[in-house]
């Protein structure tokens, strides 16, 4: 297998995406995850541009990096300024990062119109800057900004800039599609030309403005690049950078190349980064998204159950994911059976059709079970002969208002039948759903103390048909967790409280079932051991 150096620039280029602002501590936490993942280089930031990045490199000195090399980013020296007098180069040295990545101009248009200097001075700036950093004991990676655009303008000059970096002592020269508009076939041809001439490692840095950043990165590797830059989840300026979360498994699983040491952790690190960036994770992302190996159509599910790879291009476990079966109005009995098996529920063949009919009927009324496997599992369980619920909600009421001179208040009261006894409780909350949740848990706590470990983790509301105004059916999805498992339930009703309560009750009942299942599994393990 050929090694490909993965260079992550999430902490610098990724944070140029609109809506992302990472604290220094968050950047370091992501960097530690990347190091454990096994990437080759982590670009910590540009210490010469802002105090936050300078602080990151100070704090990074106290961290023991196991796999990755930390890189400081900056530019070549300014025109007509000695490297010894250049503040940007001084900041790179002061960062004490073992490697420095500097960018320089490849395009004559940028040299003349942006830098406002001569082509010869630009070549000197590149070579001088690389040699200066090397003389201070730093490994140097050179980013040839706008290389593909510059090569279209004047290929000879574009190549001359690369030679300047190589003469200065750069260990890798990275060809940048800075504007993100180059096509894969042009990338492949240009990279092949460069790889045949330069004796150092060739890299690729692609942006996604034409939607080709991943394809361009793979094309570059096919042409001889052994260094790939990108960001987790494709974060970056404008349309984003090349998405390493997609590139890495493609390189390892499709091209047979070694990139990182812990491919199965890729999805977890991808989600972790989205959480710290305070961005919704793309559940449809290739390889790592929750929907990447989700099957909805009945024909697909039937085939997958007979031959797991029939509708999956790789084993989901390799990238830390899993096969999921989705139940909806498009499903067949196989979907119901698959959900039952996944949740360790037995379902008789004669009940499958009834459960499926119930799913389709409820979806017609506004429910959506694609993301609410726990609600489907409960429907299957409740269809079993002799099913006894752990509790039954008899009735409820909510009082909300605001008194003069007093803050708004919400009180909820519930009557719950628990193990044959009627329990009546009330509680306050910061909203009606919060108050109902508190009252329900209070009613169940004596019989089921484990309810305290079930937490509401997310609450989503969607209006099904906005044309109906305030009479529209409301769908509520609630994510629950207990520190080990996470599950989702759904409710739908023209009354948002009824929809919320349906999802809430399902979530707690499923959580209690998980506890009982865990106890049964533990008992079986003890019997098997002794």
For residues 365 and 267, membership in a common domain is answered with no
Structure tokens at 336: 């119901």
For residues 303 and 377, membership in a common domain is answered with yes
In this structure, what CATH number is given to the domain that contains residue 463? 3.30.160.340
In this structure, what CATH number is given to the domain that contains residue 23? 3.20.20.70
- Cβ(14)–Cβ(238) under 8 Å? no
For residues 183 and 265, membership in a common domain is answered with yes
For residues 320 and 459, membership in a common domain is answered with no
Q: Which of 323, 353, 382 finishes a domain?
A: 382
Q: Which of 249, 276, 303 finishes a domain?
A: 276
Strand partners, 409: 401
Q: Which of 354, 382, 410 finishes a domain?
A: 382
Classify residue 459: in a domain, yes or no. Answer: yes
* Cα–Cα distance for residue pair 470/480, rounded to 1 Å: 27
DSSP letter assigned to residue 182: -
Strand partners, 413: 397, 426
Identify the CA nearest to 175 among candidates 157, 153, 199, 195.
195
Alpha-carbon distances, residue 246 vs 37, 59, 253, 261, 416 (angstroms) = 14, 30, 11, 16, 49
| Domain containing residue 368 | 294-382
For residues 116 and 255, membership in a common domain is answered with yes
Pairing relationship of beta strands 5-8 and 2-3 according to DSSP bridges: unpaired
For residues 303 and 256, membership in a common domain is answered with no
* Cα–Cα distance for residue pair 212/242, rounded to 1 Å: 8
Classify residue 388: in a domain, yes or no. Answer: no
Q: Where are the beta strands (DSSP E) in 34-68?
A: 41-45
Identify the CA nearest to 392 among candidates 417, 374, 371, 375.
417
* Cα–Cα distance for residue pair 439/396, rounded to 1 Å: 9
Per-residue pLDDT of 17-40, as tens digits, reads 999 999 999 999 999 999 999 999
Alpha helices (runs of H) in 38-169, residue ranges in sequence order: 51-60, 87-94, 108-110, 119-135, 147-153, 155-168
Classify residue 20: in a domain, yes or no. Answer: yes
Tokens 């509790």 locate to: 391
Alpha helices (runs of H) in 223-330, residue ranges in sequence order: 244-249, 266-276, 298-306
For residues 33 and 174, membership in a common domain is answered with yes
Identify the CA nearest to 419 among candidates 449, 397, 389.
389
Classify residue 227: in a domain, yes or no. Answer: yes
- Low-confidence residues of the chain: pLDDT under 70: 1-2, 296-302, 304-306, 326-357, 359-360, 363, 368, 370, 403-407, 466-468, 470, 518-530
Classify residue 329: in a domain, yes or no. Answer: yes
Identify the CA nearest to 383 among candidates 342, 349, 354.
354
- Cβ(339)–Cβ(372) under 8 Å? no
For residues 210 and 140, membership in a common domain is answered with yes
Classify residue 60: in a domain, yes or no. Answer: yes
Structure tokens at 309: 């790879």
Instruction: Count up the domains in the chain and report the number.
Output: 3
For residues 374 and 231, membership in a common domain is answered with no
HEC string of 421-460 equals EEEEEEEECCCHHHHHHHHHHHHHCCCCHHHHHCEEEEEE
Cβ count within 10 A of residue 23:
11
Q: Where are the beta strands (DSSP E) in 243-330?
A: 257-258, 294-295, 324-325
- Cβ(227)–Cβ(175) under 8 Å? no
Structure tokens at 303: 């085939």
For residues 233 and 299, membership in a common domain is answered with no
Classify residue 447: in a domain, yes or no. Answer: no
Classify residue 438: in a domain, yes or no. Answer: no
Residue 233 phi, psi dihedral angles, 5° rounding: 60, 10
Please report the pLDDT score of residue 311 as a whole number: 83
For residues 6 and 75, membership in a common domain is answered with yes
For residues 265 and 340, membership in a common domain is answered with no
DSSP 462-485: EES-GGGGGGS-EEEEEEEE-SS-
């Amino acid at each position: 297998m050929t090694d490909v150096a993965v260079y992550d620039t999430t902490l610098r280029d990724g944070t140029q995406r609109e809506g992302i602002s990472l604290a220094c501590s968050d950047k370091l936490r992501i960097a530690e995850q990347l190091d454990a993942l096994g990437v080759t280089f982590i670009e910590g930031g540009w210490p010469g541009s802002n105090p936050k990045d300078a602080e990151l490199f100070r704090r990074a000195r106290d961290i023991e990096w196991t796999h990755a090399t930390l890189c400081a980013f900056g530019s070549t020296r300014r025109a007509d300024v000695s490297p010894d007098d250049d503040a940007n180069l001084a900041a790179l040295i002061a960062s004490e990062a073992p490697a420095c990545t500097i960018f320089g101009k490849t395009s004559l248009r940028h040299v003349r119109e942006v830098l406002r200097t001569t082509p010869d001075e630009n070549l000197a700036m590149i070579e001088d800057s690389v040699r200066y950093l090397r003389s201070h004991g730093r490994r140097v990676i050179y980013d040839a900004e706008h290389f593909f655009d510059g090569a279209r303008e004047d290929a000879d000059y574009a190549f001359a800039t690369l030679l300047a970096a190589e003469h200065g002592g750069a260990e890798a020269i990275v060809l940048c599609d800075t504007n993100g508009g180059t096509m894969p076939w042009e990338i492949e041809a240009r990279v092949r030309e460069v790889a045949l001439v330069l004796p150092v490692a060739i890299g690729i840095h692609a942006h996604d403005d034409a939607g080709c950043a991943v394809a361009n990165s793979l094309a570059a590797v096919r042409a001889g690049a052994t260094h790939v830059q990108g960001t987790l989840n494709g974060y970056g300026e404008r349309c984003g950078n090349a998405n390493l979360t997609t590139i890495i498994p493609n390189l390892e699983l499709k091209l047979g190349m070694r990139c990182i040491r812990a491919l199965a952790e890729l999805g977890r690190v991808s989600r972790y980064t989205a959480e710290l960036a305070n961005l919704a994770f793309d559940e449809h992302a290739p390889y790592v998204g929750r929907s990447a190996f989700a099957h909805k159509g009945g024909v697909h599910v039937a085939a997958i159950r007979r031959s797991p790879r029939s509708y999956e291009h790789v084993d989901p476990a390799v990238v830390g994911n899993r096969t999921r079966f989705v139940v909806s109005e498009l499903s067949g009995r196989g979907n119901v059976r698959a959900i039952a098996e996944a949740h360790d529920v037995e379902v008789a063949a004669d009940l499958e059709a009834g459960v499926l009919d119930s799913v389709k009927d409820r979806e017609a009324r506004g429910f959506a079970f694609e993301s609410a496997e726990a609600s489907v599992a409960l429907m299957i369980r409740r269809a079993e002969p002799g099913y006894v619920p752990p509790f039954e909600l008899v009735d409820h009421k909510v009082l909300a208002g605001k008194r003069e001179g007093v803050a708004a208040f919400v009180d909820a009261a519930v009557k719950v039948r628990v193990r044959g006894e009627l329990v009546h409780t009330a509680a306050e909350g910061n909203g009606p759903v919060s108050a109902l949740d508190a009252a329900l848990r209070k009613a169940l706590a004596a019989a089921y103390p484990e309810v305290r470990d079930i937490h509401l983790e997310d609450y989503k509301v969607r209006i099904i048909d906005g044309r109906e105004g305030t009479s529209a059916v409301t769908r509520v999805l609630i994510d629950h967790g207990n520190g080990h498992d996470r599950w989702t339930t759904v409710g739908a009703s023209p009354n948002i409280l009824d929809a919320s309560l349906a999802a809430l009750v399902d979530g707690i009942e499923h959580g209690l079932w998980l506890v009982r299942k865990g106890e049964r599994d533990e008992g079986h393990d003890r019997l098997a051991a002794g």
